[in-house]
Structure 1
Amino acid sequence: MPRERVGIEGAAALLRRAAAAEPDRGRVAFLCIGTDRSTGDAFGPLVGTLLAEAGWAHVVGTLEHPCDADMYDAMRAAIPEGMLTIAIDACLGIKEEEPGYVVGEGPLFPGHAVGKRLAPAGHYSIAGIVGPKSPKPYWTIQHASLREVLELARALADAVQAAWGEPALPGSGPQTAITL
């Protein structure tokens, strides 16, 4: 399947296909790539943290233990053989009103947007679009809206839960704004 830009429903459809391929959530691993030191690049670790807090056993890459470029090879190698792996990362792309993801069956190529060439990973891949493509990708990813990145992460973590028949995560869904 080629990679395509989708909204959350398209990402949820990909996750349902993954759940149909491996219904045992104990045999599913999430490789959540990124760092906690850059707003946009925190998308993967945010998703990883939400999934770990929801009780998923095989989550690599959280805010506490990010799977950044320096740790990527070692952390990827720590995923047990035979696990269905879903790779999650941030990416830059065309920003539209609706939050978006780039999804596909097959591996993700981390670091591509910022010129890095890390080994591909994952049986399925999902990248959250955290900012527009630009001539300055590092600047763009570092200055992504934290609110938008967190909304993308929450929506994706909820879609993971739903794909395997679990309830949405606590604290997700529409957020109430407080104005001062």
Structure 2
Amino acid sequence: MQVNGKMNKVYEQSGQKIRCTIERLREWLRQVASEHQGEEVVFICIGTDRSTGDALGPLVGSRLAQSGLKVIGTMEEPCDATNLEFRISSLRKEEVTIAIDACLGHPGSVGQYLVSYSSLQPAESVGADMPAVGQYSIACVVNVNGPKPYWTLQTTSLHHVMKMADDVAGAIIESFLPQPSINPNHLPYK
């Protein structure tokens, strides 16, 4: 993912998905945030609260919205197959967009993330035809892809999805919101 301390430009130009752990996701998010300092960033959190596996996007969106980041897609107002096109039609050309969605993958990929310097194709694993979303994307592998993807998403562990959602939201907040500086002279201990 990194070559000599810099993001690999081959991935950037190809739009290839990079499989990574939460630590690598944090590095990738810091890189994206540094490339867009001062620009308005919108997080498009795709999914529904009606399926445990597919609730990851709205869970992330709710946490980001509570932190003051600009979000489309929360638990209260999901961005899903029924309204995706309408919800993204409000985006302005100058806004930087990062799409976040749950996905199914290979057994060795469950719990990992697929990041890309290109758009995300929502509902790809269930065969739905939806528009590609985002200039950047994060697909979170919540379970194994198989012959019954809808059933797999419905029966995915809610605990696992919530843990991944917390990790993603935390990494985004850490990367895109200014962190307060800590003065060592004001610590309660020395």
TM tier, smaller: 0.7 to 0.9
Specify which of 26, 31, 48 is matched with residue 17 of structure 1: 31
SS of the residue corresponding to residue 81 of structure 1 reads coil
Cα displacement (A) at 1:5: 1.5
In the other structure, the counterpart of 1:136 is 148
**Which ranges in structure 1 are unaligned for 5 or more consecutive residues?**
168-180
Q: Deviations over 1:62-101 (max 9, x none)?
A: 0000001010000011222211100000000124487211
CA distance in 2, matches of 1:95, 1:8: 17
**Which ranges in structure 2 are unaligned for 5 or more consecutive residues?**
1-10, 180-190
Indicate the larger mover: 46-55 or 11-20: 11-20
In the other structure, the counterpart of 1:51 is 64
In the other structure, the counterpart of 2:98 is 86
Give the TM-score, by structure 2 length.
0.82
Q: Residues 149-168 of structure 1 correspond to what in structure 2 (within 5 A)?
A: 149-166=161-178
Give the TM-score, by structure 1 length.
0.87
Identical residues among aligned pairs (%): 42
Q: Residues 77-116 of structure 1 correspond to what in structure 2 (within 5 A)?
A: 77-96=89-108, 99-116=111-128
Q: Residues 20-35 of structure 1 correspond to what in structure 2 (within 5 A)?
A: 20-24=34-38, 27-35=40-48
Higher-Rg member (1/2): 2
In the other structure, the counterpart of 2:187 is none
| Aligned-residue CA RMSD (Å) | 1.7
Aligned length: 166
Q: Deviations over 1:20-49 (max 9, x none)?
A: 11113x600000000000000000000000
SS of the residue corresponding to residue 139 of structure 2 reads strand
CA distance in 2, matches of 1:6, 1:75: 29
Structure 1 stretches of 4+ with a deviation exceeding 3 A read 95-98
Cα displacement (A) at 1:164: 2.4
Query: 1:131, 1:144 within 8 Å by CA — same for their partners in 2?
Result: yes
